[in-house]
Amino acid sequence: MAQKVNVLVVDDSALIRKLVAEILLKESFIGSVETASDPIFARQKMEKQWPDVLVLDVEMPRMDGITFLRQLMHEKPIPVIIFSALTEKGAETSFQALTAGAFDVLTKPKIDIKETVGKMGAELIDAVQAAGAVDHHSLKAHHEASLLSRQNPQTVVSPIKLSRTTEKVVAIGTSAGGTQALLEVLSRLTPDCPGIAVVQHMPEQFTASFAERLNSMCSIEVREAKNMDRMERGLALIARGNKHMRLKMSGAMYHVEVVDGPHVSRHRPSVNVLFRSFAKQAGSNSLGIIMTGMGDDGAAGLLEMKESGAKTIAQDKDSCIVFGMPREAINRGAADTILPLLDIPNQIMRFGQI
């Protein structure tokens, strides 16, 4: 029998605390739900019982959620789900929390709170259940590794200088834990790497800021994808939130299409949509990489890439925050190679030079 998940909800709204607790307590996998109005009170409760999952607001009195999150990540990391109203200021603040190690971000409703929270109950339940399955030891190891890499980055060195035209293209799909994993990979690439398209499950309010942050930390160019952007060497395109991204070959050039469409594998953007387009448009000229994330998005698409002649990689269990997506791909036989996170950049560079 699976262990019950104990949750602590930290929010200055009494109504939100009540509604979230009511939603979660209906689920059989929940052991207990405690609540606190701010991080100071939360800390007092955590001294008595350390929760398995924290549902955390950002803007609160006495101490903001980001400060509290950073304290926890340094002291004793646990899966934290940010539950925040995404105003412009709130979006930036919540993004900072995401990059500081938050497990997931959910949008807190601004109007008709009671009705809207009820409707998004399934999303909240899924996030808490996935977070409750995370190995806390992996969280700590991941956090420490990311800090070390920022202090002493080991960029892949390549002497080759080429034009920006790319004949080889790379597709990367990731979800929970992916913000840090992408930084670890992209910051180790040099400007002669093959063109890269990335789907990271993330709300649309965050993807432009996320791309800008990555761009400031990498020697390659990173930006949010726009429709018909060319795939070029030294460029990583991040899929826009709430839009699918597909590869398209036009003449001798690869472009990306940014399109609407229904959710696929419960997501938009969907990793499966990206990978399937690479299988159809690039085949053996492509490399597919599936990294840390919950669920199974990307597993079917990676298998299609492999069957089209593409090379495929899955991140290994030990370096994943959440092994769900890579595990599903491995179980389906979609991965040619299973690698630790920090071995992936070298494989990207080698693929671009074949």
| Known active-site residue 12 | no
| H-run or E-run covering 329 | helix 324-331
Dist. CA 223–CA 69, nearest whole Å: 27
| Known active-site residue 175 | yes
Query: Count of CB atoms within 10 A of residue 284's CB?
Result: 11
Residue 224 backbone zone (phi > 0: left; psi -120 to 50: alpha; other: beta)? beta
Dist. CA 321–CA 180, nearest whole Å: 10
- Active-site hit among 297, 308, 316, 319: 297
Residue 22 has, within 13 A of its CA and on its CB side, a CA count of 11
Query: Count of CB atoms within 10 A of residue 145's CB?
Result: 15
Three-state secondary-structure class, residue 47: helix
Which amino acid is present at 176? A
Residue 234 backbone zone (phi > 0: left; psi -120 to 50: alpha; other: beta)? left
* β-bridge pairing 229-230 and 253-259: antiparallel
Dist. CA 163–CA 104, nearest whole Å: 38
Three-state secondary-structure class, residue 141: helix
Dist. CA 202–CA 218, nearest whole Å: 20
| Known active-site residue 296 | no
- Active-site hit among 142, 143, 201, 255: 201
- Active-site hit among 37, 84, 175, 308: 175
Using CA of residue 281, residue 169, residue 322, residue 74, what is the dihedral sign?
negative
Closest CA to 5 of 54, 55, 53, 72: 53
Dist. CA 70–CA 77, nearest whole Å: 9
Q: What residues are labeled active site? A: 175, 201, 297
